[in-house]
Amino acid sequence: MDILTIEEFSRRLRRRETSSSAVTETCLHQIGVRDGRLNAFISVMTDSARQQARLADRELSEGRDRGPLHGVPISLKDIIDVKGVATTAASRVREGHVASSDAPVVENLRRAGAVIIGKTNLHEFAFGTTSEDSAFGPVRNPYDENRSPGGSSGGSAVSLVAGMALGTIGTDTGGSIRIPAAACGLVGLKPSGGEVAIDGVVPMSRTLDHVGPIAHSVNDAWFLLNGLLGISSVRPLRPVEPSRPLSSVRFGVLRTYFCDVLEDDVRTRFENALETFRAAGGSVDDVELHNADHIAAIYLHLVLGDAAAYHAHTLETMPERYTAPVRERLEMGRYVLAEDYVRALKGRAALTRQVDAALTDHTALILPTLPIVAPPIGADIVPVGPTHQPVRNVMLRLTQLFNLTGHPAVSLPCGFSPGGLPCGIQLVGPRGETENLLRVALSCEELLKR
């Protein structure tokens, strides 16, 4: 089906060529037709979405324009509170829960005029990268229904690819926005650490969790980010240098460790993208991070410890309500020693300094998002070149670093494997400079589309 971006919808809406009600009905129709197979949604908010869409149309006809998200149907990962609706986190542990208020990001999105169309499926408690361990069944990738869409925000990404929403909001603790964006051919943004409020969101790790958008384009991600932040008067981004788009951009390629384990198809798309950026005037040179080999160990000790603290009580009182794989991995966190958690905190600080240093003379760091294409549902191990890799470890390998360090990171589509599966490229910018990062990403997006 044709892709309708938020930017294009907004243009048509203001030319009175479409309405919020019409596009909301189209999304609801797509959910009805396709979600039986894809399993992207946990709850569809049909009545309230129609009501919000009618209100958006009426406001616009009366001259009240709330900005680029006015009347836009969006989906939310079902880990974010919406008043009066269950926040299931895709787990039976949450049975009977109903949110008593909107999360602040939802309040902001409503104020920006967004139409909340429903809440999307995910890996249980966001504790996985494939979206297959869910109390509501596995989410399926529209590019190949036998494959995972990535995760943990898998249902969010699928809702967008399948035309069930025009934009979507996910969360990212180790890559859970960027991984499904890469696996589904979308733009996924993890903002800077602390930039977007995480109140009213079921936590995995309060210091690693981020809320952010998945979108069809960089400008759509920009609109959604501003909606999350409560900023309504926002214009589309423009490229850095329209005539020679990357002439002032210096990319630092993270190669050692980061490109050591890559599927051949992913490597080819990545190298092609670098060549495209060089040809557009970008400077491209390699950078190394001294402690790159320790990223996974540092991340594991922190995320396991943090998640175990949140889940300890329910692991004791209702263990049978978790899916078995998620329960077993959460239990691991209860064995992390305090001294090792503290070592991991020290390692996190070291990595943050190293990424900061790498960005002092580079505009952005660049690396693939996901070392593999979308894996088959049910696979524990995948072949990568001559090696075999655990699916979860390999999927987190290139994204988890920036949750530790808090740098903003965006995944862009960079083509397809010969088998028709999407690949993603990741750009990382200085902390607190998400807008500048997206401006560079916009130039890259234009070049990769040609």
Residues contributing to the site for another protein (CB under 8 A): 291, 293-294, 296-298, 300-301, 304, 324-325, 328-329, 331-332, 335-337, 340, 343-344, 346-347, 349-350
Nearer to another protein, 54 or 294 (CB): 294
> Taking the complex as a whole, how short is the minimal distance between the CB of residue 381 and another protein, in angstroms?
12
Catalytic hit among 19, 148, 152, 156: 152
Dihedral over alpha carbons 182, 114, 166, 426 (to 10 degrees):
-20
- Identify whether 346 is a catalytic site residue: no
417 is catalytic: no
Smaller CB distance to another protein: residue 273 or 302?
302
Q: Which is nearer to another protein, 238 or 335 (CB)?
A: 335
CB of 146 to another protein, least distance (A): 24
Q: How many residues does the chain have?
A: 450
The residues facing 201 across adjacent strands are 80
In sequence order, what E strands does 151-278 have? Answer: 167-172, 187-190, 210-215, 250-254
For residue 340, the minimal CB distance to another protein (Å) is 5
**How many Å separate Cα 221 from the centre of its chain?**
10
Q: Which is the catalytic residue, given 176, 192, 417, 443?
A: 176
CA separation for the pair 222, 214 (Å, rounded): 10
Compare residues 32 and 335 and give the one whose CB is closer to another protein.
335
* Coarse DSSP helix, strand, coil percentages of the chain, rounded to the nearest 5 percent: 40, 15, 40
Q: What token pair was written down for 313?
A: 């009580």
- Spatial CA neighbour of 180 closest among 200, 151, 159: 151
Catalytic residue selected from 77, 91, 192, 205: 77
**Based on CB atoms, which residue is closest to another protein, 341 or 416?**
341
CB of 169 or CB of 351, closer to another protein: 351
Q: What is the Cα–Cα distance from 122 to 151, expressed in whole angstroms?
A: 7
- Measure the CA–CA gap between 243 and 245, rounded to whole angstroms: 6
How far apart are the C-alpha atoms of 224 and 215, rounded to whole Å?
8
Query: Closest separation between CB of residue 336 and another protein, Å?
Result: 7
CB of 412 to another protein, least distance (A): 30
Q: In whole angstroms, how close is the CB of 382 to another protein at the nearest point?
A: 16
Enter the tokens of residue 393: 């470890």
Q: How far is the CB of 302 from another protein (least distance, A)?
A: 10
- 43 annotated active-site: no
One DSSP character per residue, 319-384 reads GGGS-HHHHHHHHHGGG--HHHHHHHHHHHHHHHHHHHHHTTT-SEEEEES-SSSPPBTT-SEEEE
**Region class of 39: left (phi > 0), else alpha (psi between -120 and 50), else beta:** left
- Residue 201's φ and ψ, nearest 5 degrees, are -120, 130
CA-CA distance, 110 to 97, in Å (whole number)? Answer: 22
Q: Which is nearer to another protein, 94 or 329 (CB)?
A: 329
User: What are the catalytic residues?
Assistant: 77, 152, 176
